[in-house]
Amino acid sequence: MKIYTYLFVDFACIVIPFLASFYKKYPFYKTWKSYFLANGIIGFLFIVWDIYFTKIGVWGFNTDYLSGFYIYNLPIEEILFFICIPYSCVFTYFSLKSLLKSNFLISSYKFISYVLLIMVLVLGLYFFDKKYTSTTFLLTSAYLFFNIIKKKNMSWIYLTYISIFPFFLLSNGILTGGFLENPIVWYNDAENLGIRIFTIPVEDSIYGFLLISSTISLYDYFRRGRPLQIFKL
């Protein structure tokens, strides 16, 4: 059973959101087309990034916890990660917007965006020699800058990320060895800051934010029915 550990993490992350997607009052499944379009684009970009970083040794995988099926140099579990995690998070975003009448971050999201932008931009440039840190932080700064320029309301995205953060700590904690004898995913600390949230590299929190928020942004875009005008977002 040990070889199915990573697969179990993927399944555990998606099973409840998937079943709840068919709730009649708020049927998330009716927006699947928008989700899978968004996930297909963002997931593909992250998988390419993942393939490259795995190849150059920025991170890697412990075969003791893998089923043994690979696509190029990535275990199938890692590919599924880029479907299961975004699905759960976009479902959370959909649910929050459906269930809540207001968002306490509506008055502060601009401030949050500016603070995050400055932080990740400065750190990304200062630690430019560390591949995981610089790539993640600079791409996130570009995403935030784009949304600031476009005057996008990020309040629901921030609320979603806050809501899923405890589950992020649990799932990533398992992947990075917090509850296991060895980590499922290992990191080359020469390519990151070496700062951990429990066992999780601090870069993972920004990486996860970029994955989730960019998927949500594109999901919203496709829900507006303008798939051919992506650069006019």
d(C-alpha 92, C-alpha 69), whole Å? 30
* List of long-range contacts for 27-34, beta carbons under 8 Å, 24+ apart: 28/91, 28/94, 28/95, 31/94, 31/219, 31/223, 33/222, 34/219, 34/222, 34/223
pLDDT score, position 179 = 86
- Collect all residues with Cβ–Cβ distance below 8 Å to 197 and sequence separation of at least 6: 169, 204, 205
pTM summary value: 0.94
187: which strand partners?
Answer: 59
Structure tokens at 171: 């799932």
Per-residue pLDDT for the chain (233 aa), expressed as one digit of tens each? 899 999 999 999 999 999 999 999 999 999 999 999 999 999 999 999 999 999 999 999 999 999 999 999 999 999 999 999 999 999 999 999 999 999 999 999 999 999 999 999 999 999 999 999 999 999 999 999 999 999 999 999 999 999 999 999 999 999 999 889 999 999 999 999 999 999 999 999 999 999 999 999 999 999 987 654 444 44
pLDDT score, position 226 = 61
pLDDT score, position 102 = 93
Q: Is 71 exposed, middle or buried (0-12, 13-18, 19+ CB in 10 A)?
A: exposed
From residue 197, how far is each of 30, 93, 129, 201 by CA, in Å? 36, 24, 22, 6
Give the domain ranges of the chain. Answer: 2-14+32-232
From residue 4, how far is each of 10, 127, 185 by CA, in Å? 10, 36, 14
From residue 87, how far is each of 93, 114, 142 by CA, in Å? 10, 27, 23
Residue type, 99: L
